[in-house]
Chains A and B, each alone.
Chain A
Amino acid sequence: MKIPGRDLAEHVKQIKESGAFDVRSNALPTWCPGCGYFGIHQGLNECIRELGLPHHKVVVVSGIGCAGRYPFFTNTYGLHTVHGRTLPVATGVKMANPELAVFAVGGDGDGLAIGGGHLPHVARRNVNINYLLFDNSIYGLTKGQPSPSSPQGTKSKVSPYGTVDKPLNATLLALTYGASFVARLFAGDPSGITNALIEGIRHPGFSLFHIYTSCVTFDKVFKTWANLKRWVHPLPQDYDPTDLRQAFDRVLDDDFSIGIIYRRTEKA
Chain B
Amino acid sequence: MPKVDVTVEVCGMAGDGTIAAGGLINEALSEGGFSVLGFDSYPAEIRGFGRCVTHSRIGNNEVVALGDVTHVLISLDDEQSRSRVPFLSENSIVIFDSSPAAYVREDSSIAGEVEPGTLLFGMPLSDLATAASGTERGRNLTALGGFTAICGIPSELFHRVIKRRFKAKGEKVLLANLNSFDAGVTYATQNFSERIRNIFIPPGQPHGHENVLLSGNQAIGKAALDAGLKLYFGYPITPATPIMEYLASRLPDRGGRVVQMEDEISSIGAVLGSFYAGVRAMTATSGPGFALMTELITHGVMAEIPAVIIDAQRGGPSTGLPTKTEQSDLHAAVFGGPGDSARIVIAPTNVSECYRYTVKSFQLAEKYQTPVIILTDFYLDNRVENFPIPQAVESEIENSNIFPRSSVKGSYNRYSVTESGISPRALPGMEGFIFAATGLEHTEKGTPDYSPEVHTMMSAKRHRKILGALADMPAPEEFSSGNIMDVGVIGWGSTFGSVLEAVNMARGRGMNVGALKITSIFPFHLDVIREFMNRCSHCLVPELNFEGQLANLIGHLHTKDVVRLNRVTGMPFPPSAILAKIEDLIQTGDE
Question: A58-81: contact bitstring with B at CB < 8 Å (1 yes, 0 no)?
Answer: 011100000001011001111111
Interface size for B (C-beta < 8 A) is: 42
Say which residue of B262, B295, B428, B440 sits within 8 Å of A59 (CB atoms).
Answer: B428
Q: Which of chain B's residues 245-280 have a Cβ closer than 8 Å to chain A? A: 257, 259, 261-263, 265-267, 269-279
Enumerate chain A interface residues (CB-CB to B < 8 A).
27, 54-57, 59-61, 69, 71-72, 75-82, 85, 87-97, 99-100, 117-118, 120-121, 125
18 A-B contacts, Cβ less than 8 Å apart?
A56-B433, A71-B438, A78-B437, A80-B440, A81-B299, A82-B295, A85-B269, A88-B266, A88-B273, A92-B271, A93-B274, A93-B277, A94-B273, A96-B230, A97-B277, A100-B429, A120-B262, A121-B262
Contact with A along B436-469 (1 / 0, CB 8 A): 1111100000011000000000000000000000
Interface of chain B, main secondary structure: mixed
The answer to the question of B472 belonging to the interface, with a C-beta cut-off of 8 Å to chain A, is no
Alpha-carbon gap, A71 to B296, bound state (A): 18
- Per the bound structure, the CA–CA distance linking A157 and B471 in Å amounts to 53
In the assembled complex, the Cα of A218 lies from the Cα of B281 at a distance in Å of: 41
A75, A80, A95, A121: the one contacting B266 at CB < 8 Å is A121
Q: Which of B177-215 touch A at CB < 8 Å? A: none
Are A93 and B447 within 8 A (Cβ)?
no
Cross-chain contact B279 with A97 (CB below 8 angstroms): yes
Instruction: From B269, B295, B436, give the contact of A80 (CB < 8 A).
Output: B436
Which chain A residues lie closer than 8 Å to B276 at the CB level? 79, 89, 92-93, 96
* A121→B436 contact, CB < 8 A: no
Q: Which of the residues A56, A91, A100 comes within 8 Å of B270, measured between beta carbons?
A: A91
**A101 CB, nearest partner CB in chain B, Å:** 10
Closest residue of chain A to B307, judged by CB?
A92
Known contacts A61-B273, A85-B265; A72/B231 CB under 8 A = no
Q: Specify which of A72, A92, A94 lies most central, judged by the most chain B CB atoms within 10 Å of its CB.
A: A92
Contact residues in A for B438 (Cβ distance below 8 Å) = 71-72, 78, 80
How many angstroms between the C-alpha atoms of A125 and B258 in the bound complex?
13
B86 smallest CB distance to A (angstroms)? 48
Q: Tell me the complex Cα distance, A264–B272, Å.
A: 30
Contact A93 B273 (CB under 8 A): yes
The complex places the Cα of A264 from the Cα of B331 at a distance, in Å, of 48
B residues less than 8 Å from A88 (CB atoms):
233, 261, 265-267, 269-270, 273
Residues of B within 8 A of A79 (CB): 273, 276, 303, 436-437
A92 to B299: give the CA distance in the assembly, Å.
Answer: 15
Asked if A95 and B263 make an inter-chain contact with CB atoms under 8 angstroms apart, the answer reads: no
Complex contact B231–A78 (CB within 8 A) = no
- Nearest-neighbor residue (CB-CB) of A92 within chain B: B273
* Residues in A neighbouring B42, C-beta threshold 8 A: none
> B133 to nearest A CB, angstroms?
47
Given contacts A77-B434, A97-B279, 4 further A-B contacts (CB under 8 A): A72-B436, A82-B439, A88-B269, A95-B231
CB atoms of A97 and B278 under 8 A apart: yes
Contacts of A75 in B (CB 8 A): 434
- Please, how many angstroms separate the alpha-carbon atoms of A117 and B230 in the complex? 25
B431 at interface, CB cutoff 8 A: yes
Cα A208 to Cα B322 in complex, Å, equals 39
In contact, B269 and A92 (Cβ under 8 angstroms): yes
Distance between B428 CB and nearest chain A CB, rounded to angstroms: 4
Q: Is the pair A85, B296 in contact by a Cβ cutoff of 8 Å?
A: yes
A79-B273, A81-B299 given; A96·B278 CB < 8 A: yes
Which residues of chain B from 226 to 243 have a CB within 8 Å of any chain A CB?
230-231, 233
What separation, in Å, do the CA atoms of A118 and B432 have in the docked complex? 33
Bound Cα distance from A78 to B433, whole angstroms: 11
Q: What 0/1 pattern do residues 286 to 320 of B give for CB contact below 8 A with A? A: 00000000011001000100000000000000000
B273 lies within 8 A of A89 (CB): yes
Instruction: Tell me if A96 and B274 are in contact (CB < 8 A).
Output: yes
B31 smallest CB distance to A (angstroms): 41
Contacts of A80 in B (CB 8 A): 303, 436-440
Whether A95 touches B270, Cβ cut-off 8 Å, given contacts A56-B430, A77-B428, is: yes
B335 at the interface (CB under 8 A from A): no
Closest 3 CB pairs of A and B: A92-B273, A78-B436, A92-B270
CA–CA, A94 and B281, complex, Å: 13
Interface residues of B in 383-435 (CB under 8 A from A): 428-435
Bound CA–CA A87/B270 (angstroms): 9
Q: Are A100 and B277 in contact (CB under 8 A)?
A: yes
Q: Across the two chains, which residue of chain B brings its CB closest to A95?
A: B231
A82 CA / B259 CA spacing, docked (Å): 21
State which of B272, B431, B433, B434 has its C-beta within 8 Å of the C-beta of A92: B272
Q: A117 to B269, alpha carbons, bound, how many Å?
A: 13
Q: Are A71 and B436 within 8 A (Cβ)?
A: yes
Q: What A residues does B267 contact at CB under 8 A?
A: 88
Q: How far is the CA of A101 from the CA of B549 in the complex (A)?
A: 45
A91 touches B273 (CB 8 A): yes
Contact call A59/B432, Cβ cutoff below 8 A: no
Nearest CB of chain B from residue A124's CB, rounded to whole Å? 9
**Considering only CB atoms, which chain A residue lies closest to B265 in the complex?**
A85
Contact B429 A99 (CB under 8 A): yes
The answer to whether A76 touches B434 (Cβ under 8 A) is: yes
Residues on B with C-beta less than 8 A from A76 are: 434
CB distance B269 to A89 under 8 Å?
Answer: yes
* Complex Cα gap A99–B428 (Å): 10
Q: Are B262 and A118 neighbours in the complex by a CB distance under 8 Å?
A: yes
The CA of A99 and the CA of B230, in the complex, are separated in Å by 16
Alpha-carbon distance A203/B230, docked complex (angstroms): 25
Judge whether B269 and A81 touch: CB under 8 Å: yes
For the complex, give the distance between the alpha carbons of A88 and B440 in Å. Answer: 19
Q: How far is the CA of A79 from the CA of B436 in the complex (A)?
A: 5
A98 to chain B: closest residue by CB? B277
Q: Which residue of B lies closest to A30 (CB)?
A: B448
Q: Are B431 and A54 in contact (CB under 8 A)?
A: yes
Measured between beta carbons, the chain A residues less than 8 angstroms from B433 are 56
- Are A97 and B429 interface neighbours, CB within 8 A? yes
Query: CB within 8 A of B447: which of A72, A89, A95?
Result: A72
State A117–B266 Cα separation when bound (angstroms): 9
CB closest residue in chain A, given B437: A79
Instruction: Tell me the residues in window 447-498 of chain B with beta carbons closer than 8 Å to chain A beta carbons.
Output: 447-448
Cα–Cα distance between A217 and B271 once the two chains are bound (Å) = 37
With A85-B269, A120-B262 as given contacts, are A92 and B429 in contact (CB-CB < 8 Å)?
no
User: Across the interface, which residues of B come within 8 angstroms of A117, CB to CB?
Assistant: 262-263
